[in-house]
């Protein structure tokens, strides 16, 4: 990218903690990651989104220093990573095998012994809502309990950067929201998080920045609000056709008739409502659809994000 290495601000904060520079990963004739550049700011949560085969898992494994790129480099705190990176990074993998016949607290104690610095296990148990199950054997854990334990293991070494690879896949809605609450509490500690997910709602709730991958490339970047505004724009008001006393051609806004409803593209919902009221439109059964990250993804790739 041709820029000077980043330096920490006062207080030791880095404007860019991790930088992905022109990364390529090839497997034979297949290019899984194709000239990707990303900057991850310290204290933010970056969401990496993409369908299966888009290259996001390969990219995050390169960022985690698990596999080597074919070309390009990763900078951490402005320099190439060294062996100390593994001591400063926490990783929650998509799939992790746990020792079945030891208990939750014993598992945390075991992993604590592997690092130079670590969190207090009792504090971590409290943060990740493991108090009631700390003496259960790993093999007895439910899906949500297991994911909370894996998140705790990713935090045991007081990491400066945390990688969460689809942390809530397969969880029921309640377990998923419980996990989100824990991740929000981690964000409040100003930890840097890189998150991959198939759930648009998850990305929109947790991520400060979003990067969307397709066919090995980053095709869009920005905050959720920026991406929605850029690639979706207006909200849509849906009103039954029989609510209109006058022809829809009298509307100044873009609209179309679909079956028994009128869809109106509303750049400003207040202006839209005022105009509809002035025309005597019955708004009793009006629904308003606001665009979200799912709409952004569909508009950019033409397909739904599938697990």
Phi, psi values for residue 31, rounded to 5°:
-100, 105
What span, in angstroms and rounded, lies between the C-alpha atoms of 18 and 218? 16
**pLDDT reported for residue 307:** 46
Nearest alpha-carbon partner for 75 in 40, 26, 32: 40
Per-residue pLDDT of the chain (307 residues; tens, 9 = 90+): 344 455 665 555 678 999 999 999 999 999 999 999 999 999 999 999 988 889 999 999 999 999 999 999 999 999 999 989 999 999 998 778 888 899 999 999 999 999 989 999 999 999 999 999 999 999 999 999 999 999 999 999 999 999 999 998 888 899 999 999 999 999 998 899 999 988 889 999 999 999 999 999 999 999 999 999 899 878 889 999 999 988 888 889 888 888 899 999 888 889 999 999 999 999 999 999 888 998 898 889 876 554 4
Per DSSP bridges, beta strands 192-196 and 161-165 are: parallel
What span, in angstroms and rounded, lies between the C-alpha atoms of 50 and 139? 32
Name the CATH architecture for the domain at 18-229.
3-Layer(aba) Sandwich (3.40)
The token pair that represents 35 in the structure block: 């000239």
**pLDDT reported for residue 28:** 95
DSSP 144-199: HHHHHHHHHHHHTT--SEEEEESTTTT--HHHHHHHHHHHHHHHTTT-EEEEE-S-
Three-class secondary structure of residue 118 per DSSP: coil
**pLDDT reported for residue 8:** 62
**pLDDT reported for residue 233:** 76
**pLDDT reported for residue 13:** 63
For the chain, give every residue range classified as CATH 3.40.50.300: 18-229
> For the chain, how far is it from start to end, CA to CA, in angstroms?
33
Phi, psi values for residue 287, rounded to 5°:
-120, 145
């Amino acid at each position: 990218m041709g820029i000077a290495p980043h330096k920490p601000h006062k207080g030791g904060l880095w404007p860019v903690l991790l930088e992905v520079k022109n990364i390529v990963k090839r497997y034979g004739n297949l290019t899984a990651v194709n000239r990707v550049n990303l900057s991850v700011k310290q204290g933010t949560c970056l969401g990496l989104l993409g369908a299966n085969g888009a290259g996001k898992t390969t990219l995050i494994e390169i960022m985690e220093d698990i596999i080597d790129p074919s070309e390009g480099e990763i900078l951490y705190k402005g320099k190439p990573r060294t062996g100390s990176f593994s001591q400063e990074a926490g990783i929650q993998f998509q799939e992790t095998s746990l020792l079945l016949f030891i208990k939750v607290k014993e598992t945390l104690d075991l992993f604590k012994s592997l690092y130079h610095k670590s969190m207090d296990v009792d504090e971590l148990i409290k943060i990740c809502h493991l108090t009631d199950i700390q003496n259960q054997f790993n093999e007895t854990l439910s899906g949500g309990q297991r994911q909370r334990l894996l998140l705790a293991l990713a935090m045991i070494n007081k990491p400066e950067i945390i990688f969460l690879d689809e942390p809530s896949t397969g969880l029921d809605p309640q377990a998923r929201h419980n996990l989100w609450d824990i991740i929000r509490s981690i964000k409040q500690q100003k930890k840097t998080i890189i998150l991959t997910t198939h759930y648009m709602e998850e990305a929109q709730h947790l991520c400060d920045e979003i990067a969307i991958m397709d066919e090995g490339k980053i095709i869009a970047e920005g905050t959720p609000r920026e991406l929605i505004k850029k690639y979706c724009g207006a909200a849509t008001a849906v009103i039954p056709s029989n609510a209109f006393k006058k022809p829809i051609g009298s509307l100044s806004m873009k609209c179309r008739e679909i079956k028994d409803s009128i869809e109106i593209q509303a750049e400003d919902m207040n202006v839209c409502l005022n105009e509809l009221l002035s025309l005597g439109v019955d708004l009793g059964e009006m629904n308003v659809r606001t665009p979200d990250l799912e709409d952004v993804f569909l508009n950019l790739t033409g397909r739904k994000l599938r697990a």
